Every structure is written in C-alpha cells, then in structure tokens.
Chains A and B, each alone.
Chain A
Amino acid sequence: MSGTVMISKPTPPRAVFRIWRGDAGGGTFQDYPTAIDQGMVVLDAIHRIQAEQAPDLAVRWNCKAGKCGSCSAEINGMPKLMCMTRLSELNLDMPVIIEPMHAFPSIRDLVTDVSWNFAVKKQIKKFSPRLPDAEDGTWRMQQVDVDRVQEFRKCIECFLCQDVCHVLREHHKHEEFIGPRFLVYTAALEMHPLDTADRVPDLKNKNGIGYCNITTCCRQVCPEGITITENAIIPLKERVVDNFFDPLKKLFHIL
C-alpha cells in the first residue's frame, strides 16, 4: 500500500486571554487569542498581546521576578502576581480571565491606584526604639527576638492581601480598617524587641482590627508566603484582648 504522508508545520499552542479593558468610568472584557510558549507566565502573555494586538493595553510591571509587587492582578478570580503565575498552572481550554484588583480605584485596564495604602501607612505610629544600649549609640538584640518580625519584612507591598480581604473588597471599609498589609506592618513594629511605642489602642479604635474575621484569605494569596493571619493578625488581636478584655491576666498573671 502506498500513499502520500502530509507533514504540516505544527501550529504553536494558543490560549485566549479575557482581559478587562476600561477605566474609572467602567469597562468590559475583551478576548485576545494569542500563541503561547513553554515556560511563559501570564505577564509574558500580556506583553505579547500588547506587542501584537493591543498596544494601548495598560499594565504595571517592573521586576518580572516576584519582588517588586507591581504586577498584581486577578487571574481567574484570584489575586496573584502576573509575573509569578505560570500558564502551565492554568486551564487553557477556557479563556484566562485577567482583571485589575477590585479593592482599589481603577486607573486604566489592569492598572489600579494603590495610593490609599501609602496614606494609611503614614498614619501608623513610627518605630520608636528604646535608648541605645551602648555608648556609641548602638543596640544589642538576640536573634531569637528578631526571628518573629523578620518574616514580616519579606512583604513586597503587592497589596494582594488588601485586595482579597473582604472587609475592603466587598464592604469597602477603607475609612475604618487598615487591612492585612498594615496589620503585618504594625506587627513588625509592635513585636520588635527595641520598640517602645504602644499601638494596641490604635489597633482597636482607629485601625479596625475587630473587622478581621479570620478568613485567612490574606495568608492564602501572599506571594511571599507570610503567615499573615496566624503570625501577625491573631497575635495583635490577642494583644488587644490583653489590654481591653482580660482583666484576669493583668490581676493574676495567669496563663
């Protein structure tokens, strides 16, 4: 039996990216089918779409290494860094939905205005160290004392935790609640072995820690793997309990 074997050039795999296009006034989703290559991350696909189909597509990015926290977005409904989300992790049989963060004002397309966060940070009591331990104006700390706060210093301020927190995202309590990012920031200061300032009354009254109902969503989306809920927020809630809800501990020093 004889015949002709047809060999066609293999077509590169393709995927559809359903991207939110719009600004502060509103917007809509547009589909962008595009070729994909092995090893690509979502941000690579966005750059390819920008280069080949939508040069006016707005996206904020910088390091492409998961360290600058610029390319935060929502990929298939979950807050993620676009540069750290591999296409191989996603189901490409369906359009990949890419949206800007919902908890902040939209500027354009995938870019949001996160300046509210910087204003919140300024309101938190600054680091206030005790008097220096040595005459040369330096301090001495044990490593075990700083171990706990070092975890919090890994934060890259991508604000994904702020975005997923339902207190901000769903209930828009921006005026009363500082969000998980700044509870982590407060924890880093409050638990610091040299710090002398007391931020606990602010946590209860100004910063709205009572709004947190421990969904652990912030911890689940943190690209740095900071144990936000268990190591920062709950210990701060317990400090609020020490000050305002537990006279027995103060009176009898009991466990």
Chain B
Amino acid sequence: MAAPDILWQNGRFGQTSRRDKWWLEPLLVFLGLGAFLAYANWAAFQGKYYTAGPYISPFYSPEIWGDSPHAWFHGRPSWYPSFLPFSPAFLILWIPGLFRLTCYYYRGAYYKAFWADPMACAVGEPRKSYRGEKTLPLVAQNFHRYFLRLSYIVWFFLLIDAVESFWFDGHFGIGLGSLVLSANVILIAGYVFGCHAFRHLVGGSIDQISKHPVRHQLYDCVSCLNSRHKKWAWASLVSVGFSDIYVRLCSMGIWTDWRIF
C-alpha cells in the first residue's frame, strides 16, 4: 500500500501539543523499574542472608544448589564455571526476569520509559528509524509463552515455600514472614495466571469456545485477572522485592520476625 504524503514529518524529540503531565507516568515507571532492577541485582549477587528459619527469599527459590538448609544439593554445581561469581539466585532469577521482560504490559511500559519509543502517546521520538518487534532482537519477545511455562514451575515452588513458612521446627505457627510469603505467592499468581499469553492458551485461540465449557470458564477467569494485569504486575513486583527484604532483614538479625501464633 503506497504511503500517503504526510505533512507532519521530522518532529523533534519531545515535540507535542499536549498540555497534560504526559511525562509523569514514564518517569514513575523509569524510577520504579530502575529501583527494582538495581535492588534485585544487588540482592542476587549477595549469595547470603536469603533464608531465615522456614523462610526463603523468592529471589532464591527453588534453591537448587546452595549452602542453606533449603538447598536441594549442597554447595556449588560442579559444571558451573569457576571464574564466574556464583549465587543460587543466578540459577532461578532469569526465569521470572525474562517472563517480566517479555510481558506485554512491561514491554509497553519500558519501551516508553527506557527507550522513548514513544515516551508518551503523540509525543515526538528521539530516533527516526524503527523496526518494532519484527526483527532481532525484539522479535524474541514472541517467546514470552516459554517463560510463562517455566514460571508456572517457579510459582509452584513459591507456593510450597509459602506453605512451609507456617512450619517452625516441625510445629505449625504463623509468623509475619508467613503472611508476607503467602501474600507474595497470591500476588504472583494474579500476575502469572492473568498473563495475556495464558489467556490465549486457555481459550483465546478457540473461536467456538461454547464447545469447550471448561476452557470457557477458565478463559473468563483469566480475562478477569487480565483486565487488571498492570496492577497485578506492579503489586507482585513490589511484593517479591519486599519479601526478599523481609527475609534478608530477619536473616541479618536487623529485624526479628513477629510470631503471631
């Protein structure tokens, strides 16, 4: 289709007639995601203070190799290159990290906040060339559902962690950390199971969904979660970071876990 002859070309970066605070949302996203990325990387590289009693930080769970009592295998994996720094988080954190990186909500948010592509609707961009998600590297965003499938598994282990957080030395109990980890697993469930790709896989791909009553019910449930995907995304991001901070502070002895029961 031949392109029409457009008068409005070669706009400057940031050029717009908008009068509202269009810069506020991308700024908040930049600060929020930037702060989380900085903290998550710092926490992952620490390699210590990630367990406290029955609690384990969600950044480190499941702990496949490590030194804590939660670890499946003790120490460092033999195949892991000796010249690289090691932390149990490195073996896991890439799954939720890539799941969020390729998430449809986060894509739209960080393209605006970190890449100004565009910074906001109807605002001039810094670059005139554009390839979108058609070619490498961004065509790889299409692999989002692979990270979704891996995220089911990680979420399942977080669920086990939440259940185990109610067992103190073989006895049932409730600590503030139990509630923190339980809230975290619920918020992550709202985010993972409200994913656009999950919505498609459970029923979105079917044009005559009336012939699949179970999947129809599932599709409606996922659609309900999906309609607030942005809120689930942020709530679960905050909760996963807070859970790590809580466990870390307990582990370091800075904070004493409050036993409710």
Contact = CB atoms under 8 A, between A and B. Distances in A.
Interface stretch (B54-62, B77-85, B127-135, B178-186): B127-135
Given A77-B122, A144-B209, A170-B125, A210 B139 contact: yes
A175 B118 contact: no
B118 A245 contact: no
A11 interface: no
A191 interface: yes
Contacts of B121: 78, 164, 166, 215, 217, 220-221
A145 B209 contact: yes
Interface residues of B, number: 60
Interface in A76-99: 76-79, 91, 94, 97, 99
B122 A78 contact: yes
B201 interface: yes
A26 B122 contact: no
**Chain A: number of interface residues, binned into ranges:** 35 or more
Contacts of B197: 238, 241
A166 B118 contact: yes
B130 A211 contact: yes
Nearest to A91: B19
Contacts of B135: 210
Contacts of A164: 121-122
Interface string B105-117: 1011001100001
Interface string A196-240: 000000000000101111111100110000000110001101111
B108 A210 contact: no
A242 interface: yes
B31 to A, nearest CB: 19
Interface string B1-30: 111111111010000111110000000000
A174 interface: yes
B133 A239 contact: no
Interface stretch (A1-9, A40-48, A102-110): A102-110
B21 to A, nearest CB: 12
Contacts of A238: 145, 196-197, 200-201, 204-205
9 contacts: A24-B5, A103-B8, A166-B117, A171-B128, A174-B1, A211-B130, A213-B138, A215-B108, A245-B142
